[in-house]
């Protein structure tokens, strides 16, 4: 049986405020993977903070918190989802990708005002 490819979309939304802002750069924009593979999504901030969070959003649904404070897995999130931080560089790794993982993923920082995604 041929395996179907999955599309994981990576969204980057920048919100700029009058008090200053932290720029978030997320890569790649799109990732095509097959079930069972491992995928890594990167997010770089213009200023380091532990308050970096990862979200998953499926069409028609609200964003779901996966990882908070860069490396802490939210309650009920499978161990296949892992967050890592090195200075102002952050990654979300999803091991053993399933079809249910097909979604948009994005990072958000809440350590600096205004909040940026």
Alpha carbon distance 91, 20 (integer Å): 24
pLDDT beneath 50: ranges in the chain: 1-3, 9-19
Residue 112 has a pLDDT of: 63
Residue 63 has a pLDDT of: 95
pLDDT digits (tens, 9 = 90+) for 14-32: 433 333 577 888 888 888 8
Residue 27 has a pLDDT of: 83
**CB neighbour class for 24 (10 Å; exposed up to 12, middle 13-18, buried from 19):** buried
Fold of the 6-109 domain: Immunoglobulin-like (2.60.40)
pTM: 0.79
Provide DSSP, the chain.
-PPPPEEEEE-------TT----EEEE-SEEEE-TT--EEEEEEESS--S-EEEEEE-TTS--EEEEETTTEEPTT--TTEEEEEETTEEEEEE-S--GGG-SEEEEEE-SSSSPB-
How far from 92 is each of 18, 55, 60, CA to CA, in Å? 30, 10, 23
Task: Give the start-to-end residue ranges of the domains of the chain.
Answer: 6-109
Residue 115 has a pLDDT of: 56
């Amino acid at each position: 049986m041929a395996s179907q490819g999955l599309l994981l979309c990576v969204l980057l939304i920048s919100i700029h405020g009058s008090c200053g802002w932290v720029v978030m750069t997320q890569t790649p924009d799109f990732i095509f993977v097959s079930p069972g593979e491992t995928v890594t999504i990167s997010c770089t901030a213009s200023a380091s903070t532990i308050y970096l969070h990862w979200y998953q959003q499926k069409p028609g649904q609200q964003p779901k918190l996966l990882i908070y404070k860069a490396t802490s897995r939210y309650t009920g999130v499978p161990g296949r989802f892992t967050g890592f931080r090195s200075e102002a560089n952050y990654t979300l790794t999803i091991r053993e990708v399933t079809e249910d993982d097909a979604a948009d993923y994005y990072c958000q920082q809440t350590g600096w005002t205004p909040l940026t995604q």
